[in-house]
Amino acid sequence: MISVLWAEVSGLSTERIEIPLTAYREEKLQRIRPQLSRQQSLGAEYLLHESLRRAAPALPWPPKLLCTKEGKPYLKEGGVFFSLSHSGLYAACVVSDAAVGLDIQTPQPYKKEIAERFFSPEERAYVLSSPDPGEAFTELWCRKESFLKATGLGLKLLLQGVQTAPGGSFAWEGRRYSCQSCRLPGFHLAVCTENEEVSIQIEKLTLI
Instruction: Give 141-200 pLDDT, tens digit per residue.
Output: 999 899 889 888 766 665 656 777 666 677 777 888 888 899 999 999 999 988 766 788
What is the domain class of 2-204 according to CATH? alpha beta
Question: Smallest Cα–Cα separation from 182: which of 105, 121, 116?
Answer: 105
Phi and psi (nearest 5°) for 191? -125, 130
| 3-class secondary-structure state, position 83 | strand
Task: Give 3-state DSSP helix, strand, coil % of the chain, rounded to 5.
Answer: 35, 30, 35
Q: Which residues of the chain have pLDDT under 70?
A: 154-161, 165-168, 196-197
pLDDT at 106: 96
Domain extents in the chain: 2-204
pLDDT at 89: 96
pLDDT at 157: 63
pTM: 0.93
Q: Cβ(191)–Cβ(101) under 8 Å?
A: yes
